[in-house]
Structure 1
């Protein structure tokens, strides 16, 4: 962290108690104390976009606007959440196999890159809405290269032999160049391996296990191939199935401690010296979000492990609400409302403010399932159907819409109220934004100023039961409604 000579921003919050009294709650923001730089906020096109991308144009455009747009309506309401990166699933070809793929759910099969018209439409829709970062990822090697001819493994054994790594690298390189020829879009990142700790033997979706030695081998082969073909896409590695595997052997010693395995120069598996490997370790926040003590300690351990490697950053690269989360919330059943949205916002806050994540990326942008896994929900129909936004979409937008690539997280010291979650950011254009998560049943009031100046042009954007990113001007107080996610924007005026 480095110090800059800037005024300390003082924010005073007031909480109405049960007897009507007002108690001051203080938040001190110091724009001169900076932490990580934010690279992007993102979501993936798996798996439904292969169909939704061919739905009627008005509907797919509406969904693309929700995900990517940074425009506002005539009334000043944000049209979308302004994702700054899009994750594109390069399939393994299980869709071409049909039922013989043995992946029971047709919606979780995926085409090879030559037959991804729906996904290509959304890729181009993102670019038209000024998204300028793109990542391609694979869940499995293409079926013609796997040991069993399927896009999922048997018995938890990696489904590709080392002598096929170069062929896998060529497949990836051809996909990157082929998609660029079709669309003009360059992929900034390629993630060749996903959640390598899991067995991927149940036939529920494309997937492939790897140990760290195999990941290192795939990465080295892909690095050579991309350099030979003069493709300047960066390789993103890790994608750990849960955050523990980044710093701990946990229950899978050959698949854990990924930070040191890949980025410690003394490791036999070191790839951090390869010029086209991103100085980033990626992990998924699944299974580590509850209870609160575990969520905090896990993210503290991630931050400590990553900070021990000079120049290394951490991306939270996949999350949705899974499992029962120690009784806090259950992943089953759709939730269009604030319960899931507040839980999601809490996870984002902890990943950014404790684990120092430089990027935060959601799993299914568009879901057909009765599960808390989608920002947008659709009918399970291939050619047309109904679509619905969720409060999770807009709560993520409280971050993604206003914290832009290149923003720096700044110090935010909360005093007097342990129920509010507050993080603050300074964008490259010098604007300031603060995101507040209020999980409580009580409305809060904030008054903001600085010791050497004031905050000008303040505005709040409120996601609650009453609205989604609803813009409100600030007069004497900043209102934080009960059970709401609020972004405060403004600039420092000397």
Structure 2
């Protein structure tokens, strides 16, 4: 008996030294039941993506080895010998179609040159397709690694068409007059064709308006405000130009600065209620019937993510509002961690660790499960700032420098790497509340492939017991992101899997 006790004691010491949870060995780990119903389905996933603004204009010209390593982290679907992914496998890439503030340099009024952007349009009306070369490099790198959805977006019309000749507004008023809408539309048609010519990448979507509710008057970056009538007028011009020139790129609208502007009037007269204004037949600003407009409304999750109960309530109202319009989808098309988030996390200061990653994962989860988002897109893929706005961080160096991965990158990869376009969200419900903080669970099927993402924000390991209705699933792998791991591959242990403390895991399997 003494020998047996000694052996057990030594085993526990080894387990503790390895950082494993001894309560599991003693049979004391808390177990949570999760019911998965494959027959109860929700939205179909379109993509997971991120934006090239602003740093890719420089990083795309960095030494070849470094920029390729960064591209692998964003786009690669390859794995290491142990099965762990080399990258997060984004399925959409957002390309910032610049307004020309970079060519204006200091005369642009935008002090930070990292927030200026080049334009393909010259002052004499000609086009230079060698501009935005760093960003075009990333387009090619994404396509080479298997990305097949691309979106071009404008923060501002080209400075040649703006009222004040700048890429930001004056006095919070729209910075393009109606008589320039057609010129802007013609420019976008030329950009679609020109970019395809130099990169072999064709934009599936063009998003001509970004966060129209904000004033964009401080010169902090390119930006342009619009009210809904102005958005509709511009979109009608773009639609006409695209149809006449057989441009197949679809126009994505909304890009509201906050989710609430989609379904409430908000605090910006004429800039809210965008679902009804743009997609309700009979509205003065109805554009949902235009052949060039995708049946999708897009908005950004800023300022709506905390506290969780409030976030869920708003997203359920949004989901109901979208569902009331036949055939309409919702995309969460831009997010990073801003503000103080009801004291839960502050957007200031970089956080390469698991705290920011867990918060980000909870936002993705809530947008997918409460708002029924069919796409989820991050703001700036690469950041040079001391802020929680990047998946990868770099030294603020235009020609070379170091880069640093964040746990936010890998947390997003728990979704983007495994939930591909065409995946259908299925019902997943946690039925027992034995943890201090609830587990967050979402599940998806794509043909015979099954994926579940489980977030454990607790300080202890939790055993997740999956009860599968209407099918059998042969589980294959579990991929863990934690303070220690970055999509680390392990073998799934069937319907019972330990979710490590403060981690996100993705379970994959085949539906039998």
TM range (shorter): over 0.9
Q: Which residue of 2 aligns with 1:135?
A: 151
Contact 1:15-1:25 within 8 A present in 2 as well: no
Contact in 2 for aligned 1:398/1:486 (Cα 8 Å):
yes
Inter-CA distance 22–479: structure 2 relative to 1 (3 Å threshold): closer
Residue 85 of structure 2 aligns with which residue? 78
Q: How does 1:113-128 map to 2 (within 5 A)?
A: 113=120, 114=129, 115-128=131-144
- Tell me the equivalent position of 2:233: 217
Counterpart residue number, 1:89: 96
2:446 paired with 1:446: no
1:349 aligns to 2:365 (yes or no): yes
Pair 1:329–1:26, CA change in 2 (3 A): same
Cα deviation for residue 397 of structure 1 reads 0.2
- How far 1:466 moved relative to its partner? 1.2
Cα distance in 1 between the residues matched to 2:288 and 2:475: 44
- In structure 2, distance between residues paired with 1:136 and 1:459: 35
**1:405 is matched with which residue?**
421
5+ unaligned residues in a row in structure 1: which ranges?
1-13
Aligned residues: 478
Deviations 1:235-288 (A, max 9, x none): 000000000000000111200000000000010100000011000000000000
Q: Distance in 2 between matches of 1:160 and 1:453?
A: 56
**Contact 1:239 1:317 (C-alpha < 8 Å) held by counterparts:** yes
- Cα distance between partner residues in 2 of 1:181 and 1:35: 38
Moved more, 377-386 or 114-123: 114-123
Give the superposition deviation at 1:225. Answer: 0.3
Q: Distance in 2 between matches of 1:23 and 1:45?
A: 42
Bigger Cα Rg: 2
TM-score by length of 2: 0.91
User: Does the CA-based 8 Å contact 2:35-2:466 persist in structure 1?
Assistant: no
Task: List runs of 5+ in structure 2 lacking aligned partners.
Answer: 1-20, 121-128
Partner of 2:320: 304
Distance of 2:86 and 2:393 partners within structure 1? 17
* Aligned 8 A contact 1:15 1:444 in 2: no
The equivalent of 1:4 in structure 2 is none
SS in structure 1 at match of 2:265 = coil
1:455 aligns with 2:455: no
What is the CA–CA distance in structure 2 between the aligned matches of 1:452 and 1:223, rounded to whole Å? 45
3-state SS of paired residue (1:72): coil
After TM superposition, the structure 1 = structure 2 runs for residues 28-107 of structure 1, keeping only pairs within 5 Å, are 28-107=35-114
Match of 2:284 in 1: 268
Q: Where does structure 1 differ by over 3 angstroms across 4 or more consecutive aligned residues? A: 14-17, 19-24, 447-454
Match of 2:507 among 472, 478, 488: 488
How well do the aligned residues superpose, as a CA RMSD in angstroms?
1.6
Q: 1:475 aligns with which of 486, 490, 493?
A: 493
| Superposed displacement of residue 203, structure 1 | 0.3
- CA offset digits 1:303-324 (Å, max 9, x no partner): 0110110000000000000011
C-alpha displacement of 1:376: 0.3
Map 1:114-193 to 2 at 5 A.
Answer: 114=129, 115-193=131-209
TM-score (norm. length: structure 1)? 0.95
